[in-house]
Structure 1
Amino acid sequence: MNQESNNDQASAMNTEQVSDQSLSRRLKLALGLSLFAVMAVILLWLSSIKNIQNLEHDLAIKLDTFNEKNMQSLALAKNADTRSAEIAARAEILEEKYTESFDQQAALKALYQELANNREERMLSDVEQLLVIANQQLQLAGNIKPALLALQAADTRLQGFDSQKAVQLRKSINQDIQRLQNLPLADLTSISLKLGNLSQRVDQLALVSDRHPNSAQNKIAPDTSNNPWRKLTQEIWQDIKGMIRIERIDRPELPLLTQEQTFFLRENIKLHLLTARIALLRHDEVTYKSDLAAAQSAISLHFDGRESLTQNTLLEIKALTSNHISTELPDIEQSLRLLNLYKLSFVPALAREPKSKRLP
């Protein structure tokens, strides 16, 4: 029994020793784990502190960068505000200039309209003057060429105006031009110059009373031979021919004219030529031809027809007599009427109304 109790005590002691040892081990293990945990916590704390420092450093860097960018943004914003103010000022200036340019454009448009009307009115004034000149040349002087030139100038002046009234007026002027061009035109200037030359030539014509035998026809070529008898015979024959003169007796001999009568004869012929020249300008064909016939008759009667100058003068007078200078000239009343209607379109409507309608 004692042995069993001793065994039980020994086993109990062993059990206590074992439990103490296991407890010691557990304590050591717990202490080790606690130390490990503390060290881990310390390491984590140190790591977190380092991370926090790194974060603070990065945050400081980013904050500096942000501040720098913020300063740049503030500078840019300030510049933007300045530019915005400048743009606003420029926009205001542009708006003022636009308003001014719009007003100027309206003024220019009104001025252009006024200038266009003035240009058309000046054109009408020029055309009216040209048509009046053409009408005067036709009705008063009967000159076709100046009237034709005036009408052509009026047609040229109307070019560039395409209104209905301008087209109608130009059409009428072209019809007048066509009628004048279809007329048989005599060269009045050339005829007038020829009459002037004939009048100057009258003083150079030789009278019949001043006629002398043509010694050049009676002369015989001198004999160059050495035959004296033949030479003597020729001289005797020349003397006989000089003593004989043959005259026509089938018409009465013209009386000799004194110097004063010769002067008045020539002046009378000049007067006939001058009257013919005036009749030419007046298109009076009857007076023109009668005066030329009188001048031709006087020259044929009193001046030597054997002279080449007299013959040429008579031929020229005959050629001038064959010209027809009388033509029926058209009028341009239709063009003048259309011009007056065209001018009335520029008169204000109030000015064209009767006074009775304008009264309240």
Structure 2
Amino acid sequence: MSDTSHSLVPLAETPPRFASWRNPWLWVVLAVLSLAVWQGLETRSRLGHTQQELARRLAENDKVVNENRALVSKVMEQAAELQRKYGALEGRLAEIQGQADALRAWYQEAAVSRDDVLLAEVEQAVNNAVQQLQLSGNVQGAILALESADARLARLNHPQFLVLRRTLARDLERLRATPFVDVPGMNLRLENVILSVDKLPLAMDLTVRPKAVAREAADTPGASWWSILLQEGWNELKALVRIQRFDRQEAVLLSPDQQLMLRENIKLRLLNARLALLSREQWVFKNELKAAHAWLERYFQLEEKSVQAAMAALKQLAATEIIVEAPSLNDSLAALRSIKASREKR
């Protein structure tokens, strides 16, 4: 029985220390441990890399934060600067607004005062026209004064002055329809007659002329005795025949002083007529011209063309009416007073 039991024992047995390596679970555990170690190392490596990336990103974030902080600080400084400038602009705007209000008030006051000055100028022009008509009857002067007043009103073109302008236009139409007296032309004709008075021949020159001619012929150097005798005989023959006008007095012989006085008196009469013409004094104008005409007719040679022209001019001037019925300007004055009264009520 012992031999049978010994025959059942294996011939070669594995040592106990190597028997455990043959266990498959050992290899499984080793594989799991190796995987776990490798996984731990990989995780640690990844964690380290992640930490580095996180540290880099944190550093970048810190840089960005610092930059943003600097930018915010700069923006805040700019905002403060803008706020300061805005406050200065508000102050400047308030100052400009105050100046604009003051300028607007000044402009309104200036506009009112300018209108007042304009109305004063228009009133002066209308009063000047009234004086031209009342004192001297100068229609043309009155027309010029009213046209000047209307031109001043036209420059402003304010609706409040339309009524006044219509009234001035009506008065201007009435003045233009008034008969025209050519005072400058009449004055010029009088001046020409005054200048010609010293050259007009006197009637007495016809009486003394034959003797003077005979004396001139006798005093002529180189004249023959027979020509002098013939001239004297002819003069004596003409003296036998005398033609005398009975529609006028005999020519008055005047001394040189009297001749000078006569001519000066005629010029004085014509100067008085000239002043009467300018002042529209019809009666004085006609009387002075008639007196000067009568003296020309009495003392001067009526056959001479210069005397005839002077007398014709005086006669025509004396027949001219220098006073015309001019229309009044009461409507324009009333319109002016109405505008001034309405402005004073304001």
TM-score of the pair, normalised by structure 2: 0.82
Alignment partner, residue 89 of structure 2? 94
Gap regions ≥5 residues in structure 2: 14-18, 218-223
What's the CA shift string for 1:221-267, capped at 9, x where partnerless?
A: xxxxxxxxxx9999876554333244322424222123343233223
Q: Does residue 280 in structure 1 map to residue 273 in structure 2?
A: no
**RMSD value, Cα:** 3.2
1:302 to partner: Cα distance:
1.1
Q: Does residue 68 in structure 1 map to residue 71 in structure 2?
A: no
Alignment partner, residue 234 of structure 2? 241
Equivalent residue in structure 2 for 1:117, among 112, 116, 123: 112
CA distance in 2: counterparts of 1:338 and 1:73, whole angstroms: 80
Letter paired with 2:117: R
Aligned residues: 325
Quick check: 2:137–2:323 contact (8 Å CA) kept in 1? no
Quick check: 2:270–2:288 contact (8 Å CA) kept in 1? yes
CA distance in 1: counterparts of 2:145 and 2:245, whole angstroms: 59
Q: Does residue 50 in structure 1 map to residue 49 in structure 2?
A: no
Alignment partner, residue 259 of structure 2? 262
CA 1:235–1:26: 2 relative to 1, 3 Å: same
TM-score of the pair, normalised by structure 1: 0.79
Q: Does residue 187 in structure 1 map to residue 187 in structure 2?
A: no
Matches within 5 A, 1:131-142: 131-142=126-137
Q: Does residue 314 in structure 1 map to residue 311 in structure 2?
A: yes
CA distance in 2: counterparts of 1:27 and 1:37, whole angstroms: 17
Alignment partner, residue 20 of structure 1? none
1:335 to partner: Cα distance:
1.0
Equivalent residue in structure 1 for 2:141, among 136, 143, 146: 146
What's the CA shift string for 1:148-196, capped at 9, x where partnerless?
A: 2111111111124444541111111122222222222122122123213
Alignment partner, residue 340 of structure 1? 337
CA 1:53–1:320: 2 relative to 1, 3 Å: same
Quick check: 2:129–2:141 contact (8 Å CA) kept in 1? yes
Quick check: 2:286–2:318 contact (8 Å CA) kept in 1? yes
CA 1:235–1:261: 2 relative to 1, 3 Å: closer
CA distance in 2: counterparts of 1:232 and 1:200, whole angstroms: 43
1:77 to partner: Cα distance:
0.8
Alignment partner, residue 80 of structure 1? 75
CA 1:250–1:145: 2 relative to 1, 3 Å: closer
What's the CA shift string for 1:293-347, capped at 9, x where partnerless?
A: 3322321221123334323322332443343322101111111121122112332
Quick check: 2:183–2:278 contact (8 Å CA) kept in 1? yes
Letter paired with 1:330: P
Alignment partner, residue 326 of structure 1? 323
Quick check: 2:204–2:253 contact (8 Å CA) kept in 1? yes
Alignment partner, residue 106 of structure 1? 101
CA distance in 2: counterparts of 1:250 and 1:338, whole angstroms: 66
Q: Does residue 33 in structure 1 map to residue 14 in structure 2?
A: no
CA distance in 2: counterparts of 1:247 and 1:77, whole angstroms: 137
Gap regions ≥5 residues in structure 1: 18-23, 220-230, 350-360
CA distance in 1: counterparts of 2:268 and 2:123, whole angstroms: 39
Quick check: 2:252–2:299 contact (8 Å CA) kept in 1? no
| Greater Cα shift, 109-118 or 334-343 | 334-343
